[in-house]
Amino acid sequence: MPLLFSPADPHALYLATNVLFKTTSDGQQWEIVSPDLSRETPDVPASIGLFRTSDSTQRARRGVIYALGLSSLDAKIIWAGTDDGLVHMSSDGGVHWKNVTPPALTAWSKLAGIEAGHFDSRTAYLAVNRIRLDDMHPHIYRTHDGGATWKEIVGGLPVNGPVNAVREDPVRRGLLLAGTERAVFCSFDDGAGWLPLRLNMPATSIRDLVIHDNDVIAGTHGRSFWVLDDISPLRQWQESFLQEGMHLFRTATAYRVRWNLNTDTPLPPEEPAGENPPDGAVIDYYLHHAAKRVSLEIRDGSGNRVRRYSSSDPPDTVNERELRIPLYWLRPFQALGSSAGNHRFVWDLHYAPPEGVPRSYPIAATVHNTAPVPRGPWVEPGLYSLNLDADGKQTTQALEIKIDPRVKVSPALLQHQFELSMKSYKALGRIHEVITQIRTLRDQIQSRSGQVSDAGVKDSLSYLDKKLNALEGGGVAEDVDVMYFSLEDTRTIKQTLSALQTKLLYSMTLVQSAEAEPTVSQTEAVIEEEQVARGLVDWWEKFKQSGFLEINKNLRRLGLKPLQVER
Mind giving me the DSSP string for 364-388? S--TT-BPPB---PBPPSEEEEEEE
Q: Which DSSP symbol is given to 515? A: S
Query: pLDDT value at position 477?
Result: 42
Are 134 and 145 contacting, i.e. CB atoms less than 8 angstroms apart? no
Domain ranges, ordered by start, for the chain: 1-228, 235-268+276-408, 411-557
Cis peptide leading into residue 374 (ω within 30°): yes
Q: What pLDDT score was predicted for residue 474?
A: 66
Tell me the pairing of strands 254-256 and 305-310. Answer: unpaired
Residue 167 near residue 182, CB atoms below 8 Å: no
Check: CB of residue 374 under 8 Å from CB of residue 509. Answer: yes
Task: Return per-residue pLDDT of the chain as tens, 567 residues.
Answer: 899 999 999 999 999 999 999 999 999 999 999 999 999 887 777 777 777 766 666 677 889 999 999 999 999 999 999 999 999 999 999 999 999 999 999 989 999 999 999 999 999 999 999 999 999 999 999 999 999 999 999 999 999 999 999 999 999 999 999 999 999 999 999 999 999 999 999 999 999 999 999 999 999 998 789 999 999 999 999 988 888 889 999 999 999 998 877 778 888 999 888 888 899 999 999 999 999 999 999 999 999 999 999 999 998 777 777 788 888 999 999 989 999 999 999 999 999 999 999 888 888 888 999 999 999 999 999 999 999 999 999 999 999 999 999 999 999 999 999 999 999 999 999 999 999 999 999 999 999 999 998 999 999 999 999 889 888 886 444 444 444 433 343 344 567 899 999 999 999 999 999 998 999 999 999 999 999 999 889 989 988 888 889 999 999 999 999 999 876
- Report phi then psi at 94, rounded to 5: 105, 0
| Predicted local confidence at residue 567, as pLDDT | 63
| Residue 297 near residue 308, CB atoms below 8 Å | yes
Q: What is the pLDDT of residue 41?
A: 80
Cα distances from 254 to residues 220, 385, 549, in angstroms, run 28, 13, 54
pLDDT of residue 382: 96
Contact 452, 444 (CB under 8 A): no
CA distance 139 to 161: 9
CA dist., res. 329 & res. 367, Å (int) = 4
User: Do 114 and 105 contact (CB within 8 A), yes or no?
Assistant: no
Rounded to whole angstroms, the Cα distance separating 548 from 563 reads 8
Side chain identity, residue 404: D
The verdict on domain 235-268+276-408 having CATH code 3.40.50.150 is no
Length in residues, the chain = 567
What is the CATH architecture of 1-228?
7 Propeller (2.130)
- The region, left, alpha or beta by phi > 0 then psi within -120 to 50, assigned to residue 246 is beta
pLDDT at 410: 92
271 phi, psi to nearest 5 deg: -75, 125
Look at residue 320 in the predicted model and tell me its pLDDT.
Answer: 73
What are the CA-CA distances from residue 361 to residues 139, 279, 368, 424 (Å)?
50, 16, 12, 21
In whole angstroms, how large is the CA radius of gyration of the chain?
Answer: 34
- Give the model's pLDDT for residue 483: 43
Contacting residues for 180 by C-beta, under 8 A, at least 6 apart: 138, 157, 158, 161, 162, 163, 164, 206
> For the residues of 267-336, what is the DSSP string, one character each?
PPTTS--PPPPPSSEEEEEEESS--S-EEEEEE-TTS-EEEEEETTPPPPP--HHHHTS-GGGBPPP---
Q: Where are the beta strands (DSSP E) in 339-451?
A: 341-347, 382-390, 393-403
Cα distance between residue 557 and residue 460, in whole Å: 15
Separation of first and last alpha carbons in the chain: 75
Evaluate whether 1-228 and 235-268+276-408 have a shared fold. Answer: no
